[in-house]
Copies of this chain bind each other. A is one copy, B any other.
Amino acid sequence: MSATNLYAVIMAGGSGTRFWPASRRTRPKQFLPIAGDLPMIVETHRRLEGLVPDERILVVAGEAHVPLVRSALPTLPVENLLAEPVGRNTAPCVALAAFEIQRRAPDSVQAILPADHVIRPAEAFRASLRAAAVEAWENEHLLTFGIEPTFPATGYGYIEAGAIVREVHGIPVRAVARFVEKPDEDRARAFIASGKFFWNGGIFVWRTSTILDELAAHLPALHHALASADPRRLGAVYPRLRGEAIDTGVMEKSARVRMLPIPYEWSDVGSWTALPDVHGRDAAGNCVAGDTELVVEDARDCIVYGEDGRLTALLGVSDLIVVHTQDATLVCPRSRAQDVRRIVAALEARESDRL
Give A contacts to B, CB under 8 Å: 20-21, 295-298, 309-317, 320, 322, 324, 327-333, 335-336, 339-340, 342-343, 346-347, 350, 352, 354
A314's closest neighbor in chain B, by CB? B331
Q: How far is the CB of A338 from chain B (nearest CB, A)?
A: 10
Bound form: Cα–Cα A298–B330 in Å: 13
| Nearest-Cβ distance from residue A97 to partner chain B, whole angstroms | 36
| Other contacts beyond A313-B332, A315-B343: 17, CB < 8 A | A20-B313, A295-B346, A295-B350, A295-B352, A297-B342, A297-B346, A310-B327, A311-B329, A311-B352, A312-B328, A312-B329, A312-B331, A314-B331, A315-B330, A315-B332, A316-B333, A317-B331
Cβ contact of A327, chosen from B296, B311, B327, B354, cutoff 8 A: B311
The answer to whether residues A329 and B313 also contact, given A297-B342, A297-B343, A342-B297 and a CB cut-off of 8 A, is yes
**How many copies make up the complex?**
2
Cα–Cα, bound, A324→B322 (Å): 12
Give chain B residues whose Cβ lies under 8 Å from the Cβ of A313: 20-21, 328-332, 343, 347
- Residues of chain B within 8 A of A315, CB atoms compared: 330-333, 336, 339-340, 342-343
For A309, the chain B residues whose CB sits under 8 A away are: 327
| Cross-chain contact of A295 among B295, B327, B339, B343 (Cβ < 8 A) | B343
Instruction: Please report the C-alpha to C-alpha distance between residue A322 and residue B320 in the assembled complex, in whole angstroms.
Output: 12
Q: Bound complex: CA of A327 vs CA of B324, how far in Å?
A: 11
How many whole Å from A43's CB to the nearest CB in chain B?
Answer: 27
Top-10 shortest CB links A-B: A315-B332, A316-B336, A311-B328, A297-B342, A313-B343, A313-B330, A311-B354, A316-B332, A295-B346, A312-B329
> In the bound complex, what is the Cα–Cα distance between A312 and B330 (angstroms)?
6
Q: With a CB–CB cut-off of 8 A, which chain B residues contact A336?
A: 298, 315-316
CA distance A186 to B335 in the complex (A): 37
**Which of B296, B310, B342, B346 lies in contact with A329, CB distance below 8 A?**
B310
Tell whether, in the assembled complex, residue A332 and residue B314 are in contact, meaning their CB atoms are under 8 Å apart.
Answer: yes
